[in-house]
Chains A and B, each alone.
Chain A
Amino acid sequence: MNKHEKKHSSVYDLPLDLKSQQKAQGENLKSIAKGNLRLYHPQKNNKIEFIELLRKRINRHIASSMVACVHCGLCAKSCHYALARPLDPTMTPVYKADQIRQVFKKHIDITSRLIPWWTHARSVQCDEDLNRLKNVVFGTCSACNRCSFNCPMGVDTASLIRFTRGILTELGIVPEGMFNVSRDQWETGNQMAVSKEDYRETIAWIKEELQDEKVTTQIDIPIDKENCDFLYVINPREIKFDPRSIADAAKIFNRGGESWTLTNWGWDQTNFGLFSGDDKLGAYVAKNVYESAIRLKAKRIVISECGHGYRSTRWEGYNWADYMQDIPSESVIKTLKRYLQQGCIQVDPSKNPDPVTFHDSCNIARAGDLIEEPRWILNKICAEFREMHPNRQENFCCTGGSGLLSMSEYKPLRMEVAKIKADQLKATGAKQVCTICHNCVDGLSDVIQHYHLNMKVVQIIELFANAMVI
């Protein structure tokens, strides 16, 4: 830890918490036996392995971002960490990226290897250094990609952060929360360890509730139905904490006369592989979804509201799994827009009278393709839509991105830098902030609570279901 890190933040000296890893080892988990879920081994030469993995995994995209940075410092003007802590030099994206860049320069860069002291090239010396690096890449960056979009050179710092996370994950040097969720996703196929029974029971319960409501004549939530127009994949949070969103989706799909289905396996569209940098986990989870769609002969995959889930399932998953996309996939937002455009569902915006603003999820606005669609829908289903500034590709992160919600040790810093987001929300004067990401729902809820904002977080599917004319 250098003097700047000592002076400015308590994040860098957070130790590696191994309680969950030790417990998992004692349970002889399948994913550990297969070598999928990686554990930390202090007796191994992790330094050498780190450098070997760096060498092995680097691709042209990452290598070019390693060498292209000119240290102009402009990225600091776009990062919510750096903006909230302007006097802390360790919060700038360039500083964070340099922690891996220096190792790259020392061992891989063709010219810096010759004169390492001239370019700040240096190696990792021990596991302490790797733990410090863990705290930098997991604890001080939400990989929101804002700096990459604002770099004149096009340096992709968010990808460098994910790349480093992936190597550390392979060595078991990960925050406990990240380890736990990855373990659950490897072991159960979903990130919240929802059992098959719980899944089926929750769906059956939602179905009963909907039938009691009698909002439409016939409501069905099919599971494993073949030859449907689409397979609907969801976030486990919807099963565990927010079944309302599945009920709303069912109402809307039934109203729209859709032929759709859920699946018994491969229903989790979220993917912690994106956050941990573990492409193997990313491939495994995404492939479960793609293969379910094939098995059920679905014509397309529809992804429920989720930022990183959409990015992983629609975009990154195919690359991780080396799987050529064969079935079209889309966000449920596009499905909803189609219903409105085709006139198969009528809505009454006065049913959502409170002013609503929209928060663009980083994983969608800067890594996906849904920017105007949610706004188009909100203008149809709400009485008053207010734009947040900045917005679209320039929006600020909810502060809970990249798995930070699961890493409680970094929460104090996360809440401190959330001031940028809180100010942005407050300036809209809206009573509701809408987002199409479950992660952002929790991230924004934390911000609202911490900064005592008079606002609630909603999602489009909820507002849409509410606005439907029955």
Chain B
Amino acid sequence: MSSFLRILENEVQIAALCFMATMYTIKLIWLFRFNFFKEKTIPAGNVNAAILHSMINIGQPWAMESTRKNLPFYFQFIIFHIGVAIAIGVTFIIPYWPQLLDNILIMWAFQLIVAMAFAVGIFRIIRRVAIPNMRVISSLDDYFSLIFVNIFFISTIFAIPNEYEKNETPLIIFFTLTTFFLLYVPFSKISHYLYYPFTRYFIGRTIGHRGIYFKRKGLENE
């Protein structure tokens, strides 16, 4: 392995990760500076159960009409995000646990899932461009994030075999894109997962406190 690729896989990635962590910390501090109000009413439901339900809602397609009635869209969402998780995972696996990819079945499974995620990504780009309602709400960030993640998927598929002895180019492209990814994400909508626990917490707290879901025991028969 060339020293360039070694530094790119290790030191550069760590530096980019530190930058992302710093930006996320700043963002969280910023969010925590906004007031937080406490409910002043007598609760009618189980708040903790509702918050938990709200947090894991995304894993229950039957829980929301929007996912229940759009199952193909939901499964695309699942595939896309598993693809993202694998692509991110590979950025750690290659430098720190490369032997995992020696298992050909794991390697193929990763490549297949990321390829499926890429197909979903292409569909999502077409959807965003072709549907006027989607075009109106889309910003440059929405388009670029999607296109960029798709390019990242392609580079992941080629990087997964980790054959640096034969050709370093796929790995250099992959880790260069990863570096850019880590620097760009805090400024883009891709960082939505940082806010997910907050929005789901607030929804969960309301539906739990008010007994919309998870009514407090003993109150059902009142």
Partner-B contacts on A (CB < 8 A): 4, 58-65, 67-71, 73-78, 82, 86-87, 89-90, 92, 94-95, 98, 110-111, 114-115, 117-120, 148-156, 314-315, 318-319, 322-325, 328, 330, 334, 337-338, 341, 365-369, 371-372, 390, 393-394
**Can you list, as one digit per residue, whether each of B190-204 has a CB less than 8 Å from chain A (1) or not (0)?**
001001101110110
- Given A95-B137, A98-B137, check contact A369 B198 (CB 8 Å): no
Do residues B137 and A323 form an inter-chain contact, with CB atoms below 8 A? no
Do residues A4 and B136 form an inter-chain contact, with CB atoms below 8 A? yes
Partner-A contacts on B (CB < 8 A): 23, 26-27, 30-32, 34-37, 39-42, 44-45, 54, 57-58, 64-67, 69-70, 73, 77, 131-142, 144, 186-187, 189, 192, 195-196, 198-200, 202-203, 206, 210-212, 215, 220-222
Pick the contact of A369: B57, B133, B211 (CB < 8 A).
B211
Number of A-B contacts (CB under 8 A): 168
Query: Can you list 5 contacts pairing A with B, beta carbon distance less than 8 Å?
Result: A71-B137, A153-B195, A156-B203, A318-B40, A368-B210
Distance to closest chain B CB from A107 (angstroms): 13
On chain A, the residues within 8 Å of B36 by CB distance are 59-61
CA A145 – CA B132 in complex, angstroms?
A: 24
Distance to closest chain B CB from A305 (angstroms): 17
CA A256 – CA B40 in complex, angstroms?
A: 31
Do residues A71 and B195 form an inter-chain contact, with CB atoms below 8 A? no
Distance to closest chain B CB from A1 (angstroms): 14
On chain B, the residues within 8 Å of A70 by CB distance are 142, 189, 192
By DSSP majority rule, is chain B's interface helix, strand, loop, or mixed? helix
On chain A, the residues within 8 Å of B139 by CB distance are 71, 118-120
Do residues A152 and B67 form an inter-chain contact, with CB atoms below 8 A? yes
Do residues A89 and B203 form an inter-chain contact, with CB atoms below 8 A? no
Pick the contact of B212: A68, A90, A369 (CB < 8 A).
A369
Top-7 shortest CB links A-B: A154-B199, A369-B211, A150-B66, A64-B198, A89-B136, A68-B195, A120-B139
Do residues A154 and B54 form an inter-chain contact, with CB atoms below 8 A? yes
Do residues A73 and B26 form an inter-chain contact, with CB atoms below 8 A? no
CA A94 – CA B196 in complex, angstroms?
A: 17
Do residues A325 and B40 form an inter-chain contact, with CB atoms below 8 A? yes
Distance to closest chain A CB from B199 (angstroms): 4
Do residues B41 and A314 form an inter-chain contact, with CB atoms below 8 A? yes
On chain B, the residues within 8 Å of A118 by CB distance are 139-141, 144, 187
Do residues A115 and B66 form an inter-chain contact, with CB atoms below 8 A? no
Distance to closest chain A CB from B128 (angstroms): 8
Pick the contact of B40: A73, A323, A394 (CB < 8 A).
A323
Distance to closest chain B CB from A106 (angstroms): 12
Do residues B41 and A319 form an inter-chain contact, with CB atoms below 8 A? yes
- Given A71-B139, A338-B222, check contact A156 B199 (CB 8 Å): yes
Which partner residue on chain A sits nearest B45 by CB separation? Answer: A369
CA A248 – CA B187 in complex, angstroms?
A: 60
On chain B, the residues within 8 Å of A341 by CB distance are 221
Do residues A68 and B198 form an inter-chain contact, with CB atoms below 8 A? yes
- Given A90-B136, A148-B203, A338-B222, check contact A74 B66 (CB 8 Å): yes
On chain B, the residues within 8 Å of A95 by CB distance are 133, 136-137
Do residues B70 and A334 form an inter-chain contact, with CB atoms below 8 A? no
Do residues A61 and B37 form an inter-chain contact, with CB atoms below 8 A? yes
Do residues B26 and A110 form an inter-chain contact, with CB atoms below 8 A? yes
Distance to closest chain A CB from B198 (angstroms): 4
13 new A-B contacts, CB < 8 A, other than A4-B136, A368-B210, are A58-B34, A62-B34, A64-B31, A68-B196, A68-B198, A71-B138, A90-B136, A119-B139, A153-B195, A319-B41, A334-B222, A369-B45, A369-B212
- Given A77-B69, A148-B203, A150-B64, check contact A319 B37 (CB 8 Å): yes
Which partner residue on chain B sits nearest A317 by CB separation? Answer: B41
Do residues B65 and A369 form an inter-chain contact, with CB atoms below 8 A? no
- Given A111-B27, A325-B40, check contact A92 B133 (CB 8 Å): yes
- Given A92-B133, A328-B42, check contact A59 B37 (CB 8 Å): yes
Do residues B137 and A89 form an inter-chain contact, with CB atoms below 8 A? yes
CA A150 – CA B34 in complex, angstroms?
A: 25
CA A338 – CA B220 in complex, angstroms?
A: 11
Do residues B142 and A156 form an inter-chain contact, with CB atoms below 8 A? no
Do residues A318 and B41 form an inter-chain contact, with CB atoms below 8 A? yes
Which partner residue on chain A sits nearest B36 by CB separation? Answer: A60
On chain B, the residues within 8 Å of A324 by CB distance are 40
On chain B, the residues within 8 Å of A119 by CB distance are 139-141, 189
On chain A, the residues within 8 Å of B211 by CB distance are 369
On chain B, the residues within 8 Å of A319 by CB distance are 37, 39-41
Which partner residue on chain A sits nearest B26 by CB separation? Answer: A110
Do residues A150 and B65 form an inter-chain contact, with CB atoms below 8 A? yes
Pick the contact of A75: B66, B67, B140 (CB < 8 A).
B66
CA A251 – CA B53 in complex, angstroms?
A: 42
Do residues A154 and B200 form an inter-chain contact, with CB atoms below 8 A? yes
Which partner residue on chain A sits nearest B69 by CB separation? Answer: A77
On chain A, the residues within 8 Å of B187 by CB distance are 111, 114-115, 118
Which partner residue on chain A sits nearest B58 by CB separation? Answer: A152
Do residues B65 and A78 form an inter-chain contact, with CB atoms below 8 A? yes
Which partner residue on chain A sits nearest B64 by CB separation? Answer: A150
Distance to closest chain B CB from A233 (angstroms): 16
CA A155 – CA B196 in complex, angstroms?
A: 9
CA A171 – CA B145 in complex, angstroms?
A: 37
Pick the contact of A73: B42, B134, B221 (CB < 8 A).
B134
- Given A77-B70, A368-B212, check contact A89 B132 (CB 8 Å): yes
CA A366 – CA B189 in complex, angstroms?
A: 28
Which partner residue on chain B sits nearest A376 by CB separation? Answer: B221
Distance to closest chain A CB from B158 (angstroms): 27
CA A91 – CA B23 in complex, angstroms?
A: 35
Do residues A325 and B42 form an inter-chain contact, with CB atoms below 8 A? yes
Which partner residue on chain B sits nearest A330 by CB separation? Answer: B222
